[in-house]
Amino acid sequence: MTPEISGFSFPNDVHVWWSLMIVMYPYITGFVAGAFIVTSLYHLFGRTEFKPVARLAMATSFAFLLVASLPLQLHLGHPERGINVMITPHFTSAMAGFGILYSGYLAILVLEVWFVWRHEIILRARRTRGVKRAFYATLALGTYDTGPRALEVDHRAITLLAGIGLPGACMLHGYVGFIFGAIKANPWWSTPLMPVIFLMSAAVSGIALLMVLYQVVSKLRARAPDQPCVSALARWLWFFLILTITLELLEIIVMAYERSESWLIISELLTTRLQFSYVTMQMIVGGLIPLILLAVVVLMNRYLHERVRNTLSTVAAFLCLLQVFSMRWNIVVGGQLMSKSLRGLRSHYDPEVFGREGILMAITLFAAPFVILWVFDRVLGIEEPEAAAAAAPPARGEATEEGSIHAA
């Protein structure tokens, strides 16, 4: 399957080496950073309206972080040597930083998750028996103190860890942008704006995912989503979407206005090969439309019926998820459709369906964090016990199966 070339490409420049997996990598890492930003808004910046989603956000960040390195691993020519990036890093490489940033952030997040769920772990250790009890006792790490002073220490530890975790999350994702932005050979990637764009769109994807998750979880638990929380999510999503779209437009406007030597080929790339994924998806369907929908939610908040607000915000959030995926695709794949000869473009890249770097694998990778979230909920309970107990209507037995675990 030889790609068709228009114009002239360097003969080795006709392959898409960075496949769908490298599109999935920043997409998944983006959720890690974005969801963490939401928990930080609650834990660090005192945005109490995010309380209903704060624990969900942290669990989401954690679940996505666990799979974040898999797409990289799957894409390697020699996956069995992948660990060498961690144990024998070559520090002039941007990629070598991955091991440090990833493991550092993982350590912080695991600690924070432990502190946030410590009380819950102890409660469960106390009320279970046998193997389960041993399991929770192990998780409790030998401390069973739930007195007010201990909880105060927990709270301070959480704030401190969130304080370290927020820059950690920003760096983890800004760094993903740096991997592309620091490649001077590729003018579609090489801009200092790249890490910033990645970071902003990570916030968009994280908040959007939480909006969708929160609505779905509320539906599953037959409970109305907390409206101040939905409004706040919509407001912050709108804010980060505005920043993202502005930066993404600025990037190409500067190129066009400067008439940089690469603009001729990049404009052709955007209007031909990437017309659907860039113009249609990234800018209109995923950009302009949610921008308008969210503007309605934010500016007309007072006049909106609950259901209208929920629907508008969820649709907008879903479109934002498409926007961010398209953006990752356009950067990663788009940058490889264009030859470094700046004279040629190759035909579309169609990822394989099966196989290590195929579409099925990508879907599996995207689904895996939700499975992890489900397991997390069974084991630790994502919702705060008192919230679940207060909100679970005792009459509806079947719908509150999840909630009843915490209420028990």
Please report, as ranges, the residues that interact with another protein according to CB under 8 A: 2, 7-13, 15, 17-18, 72, 75-78, 81-82, 84-85, 88-90, 92-96, 98, 179, 183-186, 335-336, 339-343
Nearer to another protein, 16 or 56 (CB): 16
Integer Cα distance of 25 and 402 in angstroms? 31
Give the shortest CB-13-to-another protein separation in angstroms. Answer: 4
Give the shortest CB-343-to-another protein separation in angstroms. Answer: 6
Nearer to another protein, 341 or 364 (CB): 341
CA proximity to 60, closest of 40, 46, 39, 43? 39
DSSP state string for 222-274: T-PPPHHHHHHHHHHHHHHHHHHHHHHHHHHHHHHHHT-TTHHHHHHHHHTTT
Roughly what angle, to the nearest 10 degrees, separates helices 227-258 and 51-67? 50
Give the shortest CB-338-to-another protein separation in angstroms. Answer: 11
Contact criterion met (CB below 8 Å) for 324 and 286: yes
Token representation of residue 212: 């969708």
Residues linked to residue 5 through DSSP beta bridges, in sequence order: 346
Nearer to another protein, 77 or 147 (CB): 77
Give the shortest CB-111-to-another protein separation in angstroms. Answer: 27
Nearer to another protein, 84 or 272 (CB): 84
Token representation of residue 10: 């360097």
Give the shortest CB-25-to-another protein separation in angstroms. Answer: 11
Give the shortest CB-172-to-another protein separation in angstroms. Answer: 16
- Give the distance between the most distant pair of CA atoms in the chain: 72
Integer Cα distance of 400 and 408 in angstroms? 11
Nearer to another protein, 103 or 146 (CB): 103
Tell me the backbone φ, ψ of residue 250, rounded to 5 degrees: -55, -40
Nearer to another protein, 84 or 280 (CB): 84
